[in-house]
Chain A
Amino acid sequence: MATVSTSNRLASVPTTEPAILVVDDLVMRFVTADGGVTALDHVSFGVKPGEFLAVIGPSGCGKSTLFNIVGGLLGGYAGAVTVGGETISGPHASIGMVFQEESTFPWRNVLDNVGFPLEISGVPKRERIERARHFISMVGLDGFEKRYPSELSGGMRQRVSMARTLASEPKILLMDEPFAALDEQTRLLLGDKVLQIQQQLEQTTLLITHNITEAVQLADRILVMTYRPGRVKRIVDINLPRPRTSEIVSSEPFGRYVAQIWNDLREEASRGLSDAETRPLRTHDKPQGQP
Chain B
Amino acid sequence: MAEIGRLTGTRNGLGFATPVALLRAAFVLTALMVWQVLAVSGLFYRDVIPSLEKIWTALIALVSHGDFYWHLGVTFQEIAVGLVIGALSGIAAGLILGGNRFIAAVFEPYLYYLGPTPKIIFFPVMIMWFGVDSGSKIAMGALSCFFPITLNVAAGMRQIDPVLIRVGRSFRAGPWQMAMKIYLPAMRHPIVNGLRLGLGVALIGTLLAETKLSNRGIGFLVIQAYNNFDMPRLYAVLLVLFVLAIGVNALVARFGRLDEIKYK
The answer to whether A106 touches B170 (Cβ under 8 A) is no
Residues of A within 8 A of B161 (CB): 101-103
Minimum distance in angstroms from B211 CB to a CB of chain A = 42
- A287 sits at the interface (CB 8 A): yes
Residues of A within 8 A of B172 (CB): 91, 93, 120
Interface set, chain A 48-89, CB cutoff 8 A to B: 68, 71-73
- B254 sits at the interface (CB 8 A): no
Q: Which of A68, A71, A106, A120 is B177 in contact with, Cβ under 8 Å?
A: A120
Given contacts A91-B169, A148-B262, A150-B262, are A119 and B164 in contact (CB under 8 A)? no
- B181 sits at the interface (CB 8 A): yes
The answer to whether B164 touches A103 (Cβ under 8 A) is yes
Q: Which of A72, A99, A168 is B163 in contact with, Cβ under 8 Å?
A: A99
Q: Which of A91, A107, A151, A286 is B170 in contact with, Cβ under 8 Å?
A: A91
Per-position contact with A for B95-129: 1 when CB-CB < 8 Å, else 0? 00000000000000000000000000000000000
Per-position contact with A for B160-191: 1 when CB-CB < 8 Å, else 0? 01111111111111000100011001101000
Tell me the complex Cα distance, A71–B161, Å: 19
Residues of B within 8 A of A103 (CB): 161, 163-164, 166-167
Query: Would you call the interface of chain B mostly helix, strand, loop, or mixed?
Result: helix
Interface set, chain B 234-264, CB cutoff 8 A to A: 260, 262-264
The answer to whether A107 touches B173 (Cβ under 8 A) is no
Q: Which of A95, A101, A148 is B263 in contact with, Cβ under 8 Å?
A: A148
Per-position contact with A for B176-215: 1 when CB-CB < 8 Å, else 0? 0100011001101000000000000000000000000000
Given contacts A105-B185, A150-B262, are A116 and B171 in contact (CB under 8 A)? yes
Tell me the complex Cα distance, A111–B68, Å: 51
Interface set, chain A 208-248, CB cutoff 8 A to B: none
The answer to whether B171 touches A120 (Cβ under 8 A) is yes
Tell me the complex Cα distance, A96–B170, Å: 7
Name 15 interchain pairs, CB-CB below 8 A, sorted by A: A72-B170, A91-B169, A91-B170, A91-B171, A97-B166, A99-B167, A101-B161, A103-B163, A103-B167, A105-B182, A107-B185, A107-B188, A117-B171, A120-B168, A168-B171
- Which residues from chain A sit less than 8 Å from chain B, CB to CB? 68, 71-73, 91, 93, 95-97, 99, 101-103, 105-109, 116-117, 119-120, 148, 150-151, 168, 286-287
- Which residues from chain B sit less than 8 Å from chain A, CB to CB? 161-173, 177, 181-182, 185-186, 188, 260, 262-264
Given contacts A97-B167, A108-B185, 4 further A-B contacts (CB under 8 A): A73-B170, A93-B172, A148-B264, A150-B264
